[in-house]
Structure 1
Amino acid sequence: MEKIVISVVGPTAIGKTKLAIQIAQHYNAEIVSADSRQFFKEMCIGTAVPEKEELKAATHHFIQNKSILDSYSVGDFEKEALDTIHKLHKENSIVVLVGGSGLYVDAVTKGLDKFPKIDQSIRENLNILLKSKGIKELQEQLKELDPQYYAKVDVENPHRIIRALEVCIGSGKPYSSFITNKKNNRPFNTITIGITADREIIYDKINKRVDIMIKNGLVEEVKSLERYKHLNALQTVGYKELFLFLNEEWTLDFAISEIKKNTRRFAKRQQTWFKKNKETIWVKYDYNPEDLFPIIDYELNTKQNV
């Protein structure tokens, strides 16, 4: 039978894990996570890692399998994920891919664009600039060197900003000029299921999730990682805001409000990214699985009989 990857996407807090588990159980499949924040074992509460019961409900791969001290890129993930999917496909024609990190999902289903090799010293200098002058300095540089990429990148993510800038500086060409969107051949077909909801519902889910994270000990988790706050893995929503609280630059209430605001902004960017895929089958957040599975079965029959 034709090998299939069922990819579950959507904004944060929308219920991707729940749907991925339902699909995995229905087809006796295993799950590959493409959530770049959930790779790190030191980050649990702030990344909404699946609960123990959820991890028991279906076998997951790439959940807390790395350390924040490890050097791990999207290219590394692409290779490891494809190797894992290849092994899983030997036992089952279906594998479930789930995650809100659009770049990581695309790395598996489409492949990465090829970029020129860049002198390591450029990145080192940009990291020094980040520490000395802050992210706004880097944002302004990128806006000038590559306004096209600046318009769509997560400008609050220093790792993405630095990656784009090092290519701009090292090659003398805009980072966006290397993005071809040319799909690489994959030994499987992909069915993408996207979960959606009205903006007010998504924002409400995000706000409630942040409140639960705080109640479950997010401040304590961030405090335990404070000495590592310079690492790229920790330059992310939920952690960077609380580092400012711990440094007594912000009050706790303000830090929490900023986490909610920045997570809502992130969700908006996720939706923009995922909506670029015109083949996605969109379902409402309150879908009925009994209505959804016949749709997936139809797609499976179509893909497997090509």
Structure 2
Amino acid sequence: MAGKTLISIVGPTGIGKTNLAIRLAEHWGTEIVSADSRQFYKEMSIGTAVPSVSDLHRVKHHFIQHKSILDPYSVGDFERDALALLDVLFAKHRTVILVGGSGLYVDAVNKGLDVFPNIDPNIRNELNNVLSEYGLGPLQSRLQELDPEHYKKIDRENPHRLIRALEVCMGTGKPYSSFLGAKKEQRPFRAITLGIRADRVVVYTRIDQRVDQMMANGLLEEARSLEKHKGLNALQTVGYKELFSYFEGQCDLEFAVSEIKKNSRRFAKRQLTWFKKNEDTIWVDYDADIKAIISQVETRLKLEGYE
């Protein structure tokens, strides 16, 4: 794949990643690989802001609604499948676009995942039982005790991440953080990352507008159709879990919608924290001229010996 370039489009939720990805794909005459871990699921359309039918017709997309929420699908599975697909795409295109707000999934393709030993599945079952009965609190406290370094960095509101870190700590007797950062196999393509930025007020306003549009498009009905599966990891997602609370009578609809907006804003902050760790990212304004963005990418490629 020498001379091949993967351009990743990242940024907070609702900032316009899909639109930029499509415009860049049209410019280079290529295809788009989605790294949005919730857009993989065919049952979740409205709450995950799946690209519209017209957008999907403009440029060929991959990994959009190709799985069921009932199918186990990990970041490791995605890494394997995405790399296999890139082999095929780079046989046809010099440039491919990767887009998504799931930082771990973007990094899995660009850099590779850290390798962990096999863990006794009973440990995960035990931790899931603790989560079901007592909530996040005990898991957070346990991780702080076993791996204070990783505790400071992890998204402590994400039960999947907490349980994954804890099962490694408990199953190996070593901190989860001790397995991070090992040298990984170099990718056979050039990776460039474009990050979309905007003032906080702009990001939050766009999030609020997006949530309102989702509700108008039928998010309430979509969530109700999925309520019976609310225990699945795929549905531990902003936009669904708040409405499940409404269905259970824990709050009224107005409060649930306000919680979706609040939690989406929190999620956007966590996304930016993750993406800013990559010091090589080319940051562009959300309303930047497309020609200027293309020029920035081409300049970077020329500086690094790519034409």
TM-score (normalizing by structure 1):
0.97
1:63-142 → structure 2 map (5 Å cutoff):
63-142=64-143
| Deviation readout 1:64-88 (Å, 9 max, x if unpaired) | 1111101111000000000001100
Q: Which residue number corresponds to residue 281 of structure 2?
A: 280
Structure 2: distance between partners of 1:218 and 1:143: 36
Q: Which residue number corresponds to residue 244 of structure 2?
A: 243
Residue 304 (structure 1) shift: 5.1
Q: Which residue number corresponds to residue 10 of structure 2?
A: 9
Would you say the 8 A contact 1:6–1:97 is kept in 2?
yes
Residue 31 (structure 1) shift: 0.4
Structure 1: distance between partners of 2:197 and 2:69: 31
| Deviation readout 1:95-144 (Å, 9 max, x if unpaired) | 10001100000000000001111001101111111111122222222222
Q: Which residue number corresponds to residue 157 of structure 2?
A: 156
Residue 154 (structure 1) shift: 2.0
Q: Secondary structure at the match of 2:7?
A: strand
| Deviation readout 1:189-232 (Å, 9 max, x if unpaired) | 01111100011110111111111111111111111011100111
Amino acid at match of 1:114: V
Structure 2: distance between partners of 1:182 and 1:236: 32
Aligned positions, number: 306
Structure 2: distance between partners of 1:96 and 1:303: 19
Structure 2: distance between partners of 1:136 and 1:43: 28
Amino acid at match of 1:43: M
Q: Which residue number corresponds to residue 42 of structure 2?
A: 41
Q: Which residue number corresponds to residue 228 of structure 2?
A: 227
Q: CA RMSD in A?
A: 1.3
Q: Secondary structure at the match of 1:225?
A: helix
Higher mean displacement: 262-271 or 149-158: 149-158
Q: Secondary structure at the match of 1:155?
A: coil
Residue 180 (structure 1) shift: 0.8
TM-score (normalizing by structure 2):
0.96
Q: Which residue number corresponds to residue 179 of structure 2?
A: 178
Would you say the 8 A contact 1:75–1:112 is kept in 2?
yes
Distance 1:196-1:181 versus aligned 2 partners, 3 A rule: farther
Would you say the 8 A contact 1:245–1:255 is kept in 2?
yes
Structure 2: distance between partners of 1:223 and 1:16: 28
Distance 1:181-1:282 versus aligned 2 partners, 3 A rule: farther
Structure 1: distance between partners of 2:219 and 2:129: 28
Structure 2: distance between partners of 1:29 and 1:163: 36
Amino acid at match of 1:206: I
Would you say the 8 A contact 1:154–1:266 is kept in 2?
no
Structure 2: distance between partners of 1:52 and 1:303: 37
The answer as to 2:217 corresponding to 1:216 is yes
Structure 2: distance between partners of 1:56 and 1:181: 40
Would you say the 8 A contact 1:77–1:104 is kept in 2?
yes
Higher mean displacement: 131-140 or 6-15: 131-140
Residue 170 (structure 1) shift: 0.5
Structure 1: distance between partners of 2:212 and 2:45: 15
Structure 2: distance between partners of 1:110 and 1:199: 29
Structure 1 residue runs without a partner (length 5+): none
Q: Secondary structure at the match of 1:250?
A: coil
